A and B are shown apart, each in its own frame.
Chain A
């Protein structure tokens, strides 16, 4: 019986890092989008920072999309 500790360890590490990174990115994206549609009365936010938040959000979502595509690629390949 030989247990492949290296494989188990890498599954552990990769899963942990990827999950946390993806969820973090996606959350940043959602936060960014919700900032770009501020509730009435948030007059202090300039249009510039809204644009930045929105762009950042789309970058985050784009990265998540790339990860999903890579996931599909792994399933197919």
Chain B
């Protein structure tokens, strides 16, 4: 019994850690465009997003009935499987964060669950068809829907507003963008904090602490909400930079169109019964807004790396989770070893990130290259905007230490400055 409660405690802590990584991984969805267009200061943006995530966690009374949406057979799932799945999801989240790539946290969790289940009970535990309808198809649909909507909206807003002074209207667009971003944050808190509550509740049920079918206790709701809010406030600055600056250069109109498209797609999809990933909708919307402006560019090299990361999310998280499940299956020492490995690998990733720290001071990435280029900066930035950023010293160092998917790991700090509005 004592062993069981210790395992449960580990799972709960791991679930909260996942929730935390989910928060800082997904801050970008709501706030990347808001930060890059200057609608809000970086710190203000993440603080606002954190508060809305926390509020969102308490808003919905609808309890996450199933954590995997039918992907795996959750009946008779063992606590170790949940633990292994979380390990896979956390490590993939941290790894993509290190590379600054937005990828879906839910898909990472799904991948982890699938991998751990495959290792635990074999193929009978996984519903292959659901994998296609819940993960693969939405991954294709989300960026298309959000991108197309954002592109048309961007075109329209430029068309209607073509006779207005861009400086005079920027303030209005920024205000609208903040509202859209707020909605995205709120929806995120409701959905993703619920997911962690579902995981913890399921763990408590499988551990025999709660009766099957019971609601999450208050402390679960509170701790899940706080974990996701803390993660959001910490801010995944690397991903924010990629989404807000790396994919394309956004002006206030575009940021507004992108964020509105993302908010609409997320709300529409979750209420019309075809859930789309928040991350993929937002990335798609940003790219669509980039294409919608005349002369706008999408940096396809960055976009390609992001797509590769999406494709790898499920198998990679699954593979790690399967390994973790294999290890936990070896008995108590295996569980301890898995936990130790999780801490160790997380620490390694964190230290690797310190070599190229990205935080609220350099998230918009304009400072360095502008300083270095001096007066020629505008020309250089304009050129850089149409060419993929070069791989330079420290970046290749990282690429050498960590084998990245797609070797063209560009250095986030050399991301070109936003070309001056002409």
Tell me which residues across on chain A come within 8 A of B9, comparing CB atoms: none
Taking CB atoms, residues of chain A closer than 8 Å to B163 are: 31
Per-residue contact bits, chain A 54-77, to B (CB 8 Å; 1 contact, 0 not): 000000000010001001101110
In the complex, besides A23-B157, A76-B59, 6 extra interface pairs with C-beta distance below 8 angstroms are A8-B137, A11-B274, A26-B176, A31-B163, A75-B183, A75-B187
Chain A residues near B141: list those with CB within 8 A: 8, 11-12
Q: Are B133 and A18 in contact (CB under 8 A)?
A: no
Interface string of B46-70 (1 = CB under 8 A from A): 0000000000100110000000000
CA distance A27 to B252 in the complex (A): 12
Question: Lowest 7 A-B CB distances belong to which pairs?
Answer: A1-B129, A23-B153, A19-B149, A7-B274, A30-B172, A27-B157, A19-B261
A15 to B266, CA, bound (A): 9
A47 proximity list for chain B (CB < 8 A):
none
Any chain A CB within 8 A of the CB of B10? no
**Minimal Cβ-Cβ distance residue in B for A26:** B176
Report the nearest A residue to B183, measured CB to CB. A71
A15 touches B157 (CB 8 A): no
> Of A12, A20, A71, which contacts B263 at CB under 8 A?
A71
**A12 x B160 contact (CB < 8 A):** no
Min Cβ gap A44→B in Å is 15
Chain B residues near A23 (CB-CB < 8 A): 153-154, 156-157, 256-257, 260-261
Could you say which interface size class chain B belongs to? 35 or more
Residue of A3, A19, A71 touching B153 (CB-CB under 8 A): A19
Closest residue of chain B to A76, judged by CB?
Answer: B59
| 0/1 interface trace, chain B 186-228, chain A, CB 8 Å (1 if under) | 1100100000000000000000000000000000000000000
B133/A4 in contact, CB under 8 A: yes
> How far is the CB of A10 from the nearest CB of chain B, in Å?
5
CB distance from B372 to the nearest CB of A (A): 36
B374 contacts the other chain (CB 8 A) = no
A-side contacts of B261, CB under 8 Å? 15, 19, 23
User: Would you call A40 an interface residue if the criterion is a C-beta within 8 Å of the partner chain's C-beta atoms?
Assistant: no
Contact A20-B272, Cβ < 8 Å, known A15-B265, A71-B263, A76-B59: no
Query: A28 on the interface (CB 8 Å rule)?
Result: yes
Q: How far is the CA of A74 from the CA of B132 in the complex (A)?
A: 27
Is A34 an interface position by the 8 A CB rule? yes
Is A16 engaged at the interface, CB distance under 8 Å to the other chain?
A: yes
Does A14 make an interface contact (CB < 8 A)?
yes
Q: Are A72 and B276 in contact (CB under 8 A)?
A: no
Task: Confirm or deny: B269 has a beta carbon within 8 angstroms of a beta carbon on chain A.
Answer: yes
Q: Which residue of B lies closest to A33 (CB)?
A: B172
Q: Do the beta carbons of A30 and B173 come within 8 Å of each other?
A: yes
Q: Which of B149, B169, B183 contacts A30 (CB 8 A)?
A: B169
- Chain A facing B: main interface SS: helix
Contact B268 A14 (CB under 8 A): yes
List, in ascending order, chain B residues with CB within 8 A of A4's CB: 133, 273-274
Interface residue ranges, A against B (CB under 8 Å): 1-4, 7-8, 10-12, 14-16, 18-20, 22-24, 26-31, 33-34, 64, 68, 71-72, 74-76
C-alpha spacing A69/B269, complex, angstroms = 17
Name the contact of B160 in the complex, choosing from A3, A18, A24 (C-beta under 8 A).
Answer: A24
Question: Which chain A residues border B1 with CB–CB below 8 Å?
Answer: none
By a CB distance below 8 angstroms, the chain A residues around B271 are 74
**Cα distance A65–B268 when bound, in Å?**
17
- Docked CA distance A40–B251 (Å): 27
Contact yes or no, B146 A15, CB < 8 A: yes
The CA of A10 and the CA of B164, in the complex, are separated in Å by 35
A71 touches B152 (CB 8 A): no
Residue B73 interfacial (CB < 8 Å): no
Q: Kindly supply a per-residue 1/0 record for chain B positions 143-184, scoring 1 wherever the CB is within 8 Å of any chain A CB and 0 otherwise.
A: 001101110111011001101110011001100100100010
Please tell me which one of the listed residues A7, A19, A30, A74 contacts residue B260 in the complex, with CB atoms under 8 A apart: A19
Tell me whether B267 and A12 are in contact (CB under 8 A).
no
With a cutoff of 8 Å between Cβ atoms, the chain B residues found around residue A72 in the complex are 183, 186
Q: Are B161 and A76 in contact (CB under 8 A)?
A: no
Candidates B154, B156, B253, B264; contact of A15 at CB < 8 Å: B264
Q: How far is the CA of A64 from the CA of B271 in the complex (A)?
A: 19
- Name which residue of chain B comes closest to A30, CB basis: B172
Residue of A nearest to B274 (CB): A7
Q: Can you list 9 residue pairs at the A/B interface with Cβ under 8 Å?
A: A1-B132, A3-B133, A11-B276, A15-B261, A16-B145, A26-B172, A26-B256, A31-B161, A34-B165
B268 / chain A contacts, CB cutoff of 8 Å: 11, 14-15, 18
Residue of B nearest to A19 (CB): B149
Indicate if the CB atoms of A11 and B145 lie closer than 8 Å: yes
* Given A1-B132, A15-B146, A19-B260, CB of A24 within 8 Å of CB of B156: yes
